[in-house]
Amino acid sequence: MVSYKTLSTQSGPFLAMTGLTVAEFQDLLPAFEAAYDRVYPLDRTADGRPRGRWPGAGRPSVLSRNEDKLLFLLVYLKTYPLQVVLGQLFGISTSQANHWLHHLLPVLRSALDDLGVKPERDGTRVARARLTCPGNRTVIIDGTERRRQRPKNAEKQARHYSGKKKTHTDKNVLLAGAGDERVLFLSETYPGSANDKRVADEARLRYPPGTVLHKDAGFQGYEPPVQQSCQAKKKAARG
């Protein structure tokens, strides 16, 4: 069974399963704990009603420690396993895994907002994003895909099939600052077959003054009003 106590002693697997180093995890944890106490006060139940008994009464949860709550959530967001697999990893049922995901996701969003690192979701507001490296105006735009279950509906199968990944995926477009690697913007989720440029166009992105935008071939023809637009060239095919 996965727990913070055991996984935190293995730096490689910890990074692979959460996307964070142990030190980065520890930096995030206090904000997560503060957000959890704010979202779910001790004198209230999970659904907001006054609590009838002292917190902690009853059978203890596998995810009773805040470290394990945050680990559970990050493992899901990094590796995107089926909930039945996630439940097996943490020693809980599939229904409990589903409950904890819905219970904890708002807490993480609140914690990231408190830290000032929550990605913008409204493309028109990116121009007002606070850059932590003001001297570096280089921004990278890219599409990212993650595998999903194969839809049963034939029409959905076609929409979600990614020729690039040769599997069924969901797609998002994101912006990241080259100076600090911070994610500035995260688009809505699209089927894997969606074109990167179309997603960017529909996001109606507005960039900070002086932006130098780097993009790949998936954004061919995407030319927003920025100071400089740089596109990687495809390697010439070998004869």
pLDDT over 70 at 133, yes or no: no
Q: Three-state SS for 129?
A: coil
Domain containing residue 11: 4-115
CA–CA separation, 27 and 63 (whole Å):
20
pLDDT tens column, 156-188:
999 999 988 889 999 999 999 988 888 999 999
Query: Are the CB atoms for 91 and 3 separated by under 8 Å?
Result: no
Q: Where are the alpha helices (DSSP H) in 82-238?
A: 83-90, 94-115, 154-160, 196-203
Compute how many other C-beta atoms are within 10 angstroms of the C-beta atom of residue 119: 17
Question: Looking at beta carbons, which pairs linking 210-219 to residues 24 or more positions away fall under 8 Å?
Answer: 210/137, 211/137, 211/138, 211/139, 212/137, 212/138, 212/139, 213/139, 213/140, 213/141, 214/138, 214/139, 214/140, 214/141, 214/178, 215/140, 215/141, 215/142, 216/142, 218/142, 218/143, 219/141
Q: Say if residue 205 is in the same domain as residue 142.
A: yes
The total domain count for the chain is: 2
List the beta bridge partners of residue 140. Answer: 176, 214
Q: Say if residue 223 is in the same domain as residue 184.
A: yes
**End residue of a domain, out of 95, 115, 135:** 115
**End residue of a domain, out of 115, 136, 161:** 115
Which pLDDT score, from 0 to 100, does residue 7 have? 96
Q: Three-state SS for 184?
A: strand
pLDDT tens column, 29-83:
999 999 999 998 876 666 667 766 665 555 667 898 999 999 999 999 998 898 9
Q: How many CA atoms lie within 13 A of 71 on its CB side?
A: 26
pLDDT band, residue 146 (cuts 50/70/90) = confident
Distance of CA 37 to the CA centre of its chain: 22
Is 81 within a domain?
Answer: yes
Is 138 within a domain?
Answer: yes
Is 108 within a domain?
Answer: yes
Q: At what angle do helices 94-115 and 22-39 cross, to 10 degrees?
A: 100
Q: Say if residue 92 is in the same domain as residue 187.
A: no
Element (H, E) at 33: helix 22-39
Report the candidate in 61, 70, 89 with the shortest Cα–Cα distance to residue 31: 70
